[in-house]
Amino acid sequence: MFTGIIEAIGSIRSCHKTGQGMQLWIESPQLDFSDVKLGDSIASNGVCLTVTATDGDAFRADLSAETLSRTLFADYQRGQRVNLEKALLPSSRLGGHLVSGHVDGVGQIRAIDKTSDSWELWLSMPAALSRYIAEKGSITVDGISLTVNELTQDAFRLTIVPHTALVTTLQQARVGSRLHLEVDLIARYLERLLQDKTPAMAGVSTDLLRARGFI
């Protein structure tokens, strides 16, 4: 699990196809590798990758065909910059929200309005994800925990404060940029509960969840 609070920016040192998958090295002098072990998880642009080797300030990861089909990594090249976050520890502060590192879809930046103290970004979203996104709810964009400030049928607005732009790859965002999206885990589980028709869940309804403050 992750929090969506980016620890460092890395860049792809090398990448090559391995059958239907891909093997890549990601380097980051900013990231503390002193406690990184083989088998650890590091979120890279919001994608949970398993460390298969380390080399100084870099780590190697193997991406499956499934990961490549659901993310933008198949299009990434050497030098691509990525947001990095090591897996959450039990003693860590949960500064963002619970993030699994499993990308649900890809959004595209429609508009960027830069003011003196913040950026306003409008992102499109796949139709299948719209029901999981709520105004003032949390969403993960390229691994960054952000708050949805406005919502339409097929897009949502984010406010990016200067610090977030400075310490993440959003500093290079442009209209047309495509980004990984992960919806809030709570929304996923609430939908599953509402679909459960077993006797034990018979009393769970949208009205009940709303009355208890879940939605």
Among candidates 139, 137, 136, 102, which has minimal Cα distance to 123? 139
The C-alpha atoms of residue 58 and residue 146 are separated, in whole angstroms, by: 27
Q: What's the pLDDT score for residue 189?
A: 74
Which pLDDT band, with edges at 50, 70 and 90, does 44 fall under?
A: very high
Reply yes or no on whether the pLDDT at 74 is more than 70: yes
pLDDT digits (tens, 9 = 90+) for 120-163: 999 999 999 999 999 999 999 999 999 999 999 999 999 999 99
For residue 9, give both structure tokens: 């920016």
- Mean pLDDT over residues 100-114, rounded? 95
pLDDT attached to residue 195? 72
pLDDT for position 202: 58
Burial of 192 (0-12, 13-18, 19+ CB in 10 A): exposed
In this predicted model, what pLDDT tens digit does every residue of 5-31 receive, in sequence order?
999 999 999 999 999 999 999 999 999
Architecture (CATH level 2) of domain 105-183? Beta Barrel (2.40)
The pLDDT tens digits for 164-210 are 999 999 999 999 999 999 998 887 777 777 776 665 555 666 676 67
pLDDT (average), residues 91-111: 90
CA of residue 13 relative to chain centroid, distance = 21
Domain positions in the chain: 8-86, 105-183, 185-215
CATH architecture, domain defined by 8-86: Beta Barrel (2.40)
Rounded average pLDDT over 45-56: 97
Same fold, 8-86 and 105-183: yes
Phi/psi of residue 112, nearest 5 degrees:
-135, 125
- Enter the pTM of the model: 0.87
- Within 8 A by CB and 6+ apart from 145, the residues are 3, 4, 5, 95, 96, 97, 99, 138
